[in-house]
């Protein structure tokens, strides 16, 4: 399925639910988390509806690679300090026991000065 009309993140990508956009291109959409854990906390999601990391296959390797390469660039643009003194965390929750709340693959990029509320 390329899109799920009942998915919260699909609705955000379509602009049906407002968000504060961090980045977008033909494959990816990034927006600020509405309940941030840290000074920098945004989500990066593929436009393609993939429920979780458990549904990722070899055909998604390029997409996931792009997400991992883009995350550091967006983290710096969003206000994270450079490595090694600065930095950020990348988190992908998978499934109920993994803490996933929205079933659309998404990467949390979290950073900024410590202490953070969580993590």
Pick the catalytic residue from 49, 103, 104, 106.
106
Catalytic-residue membership of 106: yes
Q: Where are the domains of the chain?
A: 8-111
Task: Tell me phi and psi for residue 55, to 5 degrees.
Answer: -100, 5
This prediction has a pTM of 0.95
In CATH terms, the fold of domain 8-111 is HIT family, subunit A (3.30.428)
Rounded distance between C-alpha atoms, residue 13 and residue 18, angstroms = 9
pLDDT (tens digit per residue) in 46-66: 999 999 999 999 999 999 999
In the predicted model, is pLDDT for residue 118 greater than 80? no
Tens digit of each residue's pLDDT (9 = 90 or more) over 92-112: 999 999 999 999 999 999 999
């Amino acid at each position: 399925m390329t899109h799920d009309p009942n998915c919260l993140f699909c609705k955000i990508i379509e602009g049906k639910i407002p968000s504060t956009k961090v980045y977008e291109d033909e494959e990816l959409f990034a927006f600020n988390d509405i309940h941030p854990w840290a000074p920098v906390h945004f989500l990066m999601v593929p436009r393609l509806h993939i429920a979780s990391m458990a549904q990722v296959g070899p055909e998604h390797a390029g997409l996931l690679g792009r997400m991992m390469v883009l995350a550091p660039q967006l983290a710096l643009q969003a206000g994270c300090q450079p490595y090694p003194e600065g930095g950020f965390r990348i988190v992908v929750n998978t499934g109920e026991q993994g803490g996933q709340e929205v079933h659309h693959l998404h990467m949390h990029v979290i950073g900024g000065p410590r202490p953070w509320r969580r993590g």
